[in-house]
Structure 1
C-alpha cells in the first residue's frame, strides 16, 4: 500500500498541485473540518460509491488517524484504483481546513 504523510500532502497543496482527496470519516466528523477540496465518502459507502471514481486518477485517502483510510485504500487498490493512504490522518494534519 502506498502511503503519504500529512506534511507531504500539505506541501503538494501549497505548491498548487491539484489533488483528489477522499475523506472516509463519517459526515459529522468531516463537519468539524476537512482538507480543502476533499470529498467525503464515509468508509461504509466506499464500496457503493467506487463507480463514481475515475480509475485513471490518483486518490489520497484520509480519515481521523489512518486506520479507516488504510482499509479503504486496500479495498480500492484491490479493485484497480490508484490510491494512497495518508498516514496519521487528520490527527496529524497541521494544514488549513474548511
Structure 2
C-alpha cells in the first residue's frame, strides 16, 4: 500500500471532515502562496509537540477540527514533498497508522489546478 496520495484525492478532501489534511509549511510560506482548501497548518517543527501534547480541547480551539487519534486518516502536504515525507515518517513513528503524504505539495497542487 502506497504512502502517497494523488491530486484528485487531495482535491476531494475539501469538505471531508473524516480526513485531516495538514500543511507542514511555515505560516510565512502560506501567507505568500495560499493553502490547499480544507487544510490546517501545523509547521513541521511543531508537529510532534502538537500531536503528542496538545489537549483535545486546545486542538479544537486552534484548528477547529477534532484532534486526530492513531487511526484518523492524515494527509501531509508541504511545498514540494520533502517536509511532508518527514511529517509522514514522524507520524508513523508516533503510531498514526493511516498517515499518507501528497508528494506534489503546493507546487504540484498549483500545476494540477491549472490543467484540471
Measured against the shorter chain, the TM-score band is 0.7 to 0.9
TM-score by length of 1: 0.82
**Does the Cα contact within 8 Å between 2:23 and 2:43 map onto a contact in 1?**
yes
Runs of 4+ in 1 over 4 A off after TM superposition: none
TM-score by length of 2: 0.71
Total equivalences in the alignment? 93
- Cα distance in 2, alignment partners of residues 17 and 42 from structure 1: 21
Structure ID, larger Rg: 2
**Does the Cα contact within 8 Å between 1:6 and 1:87 map onto a contact in 2?**
no
Verify: 1:68 aligned to 2:69, yes or no: no
Verify: 1:22 aligned to 2:22, yes or no: yes
Between Structure 1 and Structure 2, which shows a larger proportion of helix residues? 2
The structural deviation recorded for 1:36 is 1.6
Verify: 1:3 aligned to 2:10, yes or no: no
Alpha-carbon deviations, 1:55-94, whole Å to 9, x = none? 1211100000000000010111111112101011110103
Gaps of 5+ in 2: 55-67
- Alpha carbon RMSD of aligned pairs, Å? 1.8
**Does the Cα contact within 8 Å between 2:76 and 2:87 map onto a contact in 1?**
yes
Between Structure 1 and Structure 2, which shows a larger proportion of strand residues? 1
Gaps of 5+ in 1: none
- Cα distance in 2, alignment partners of residues 17 and 23 from structure 1: 16
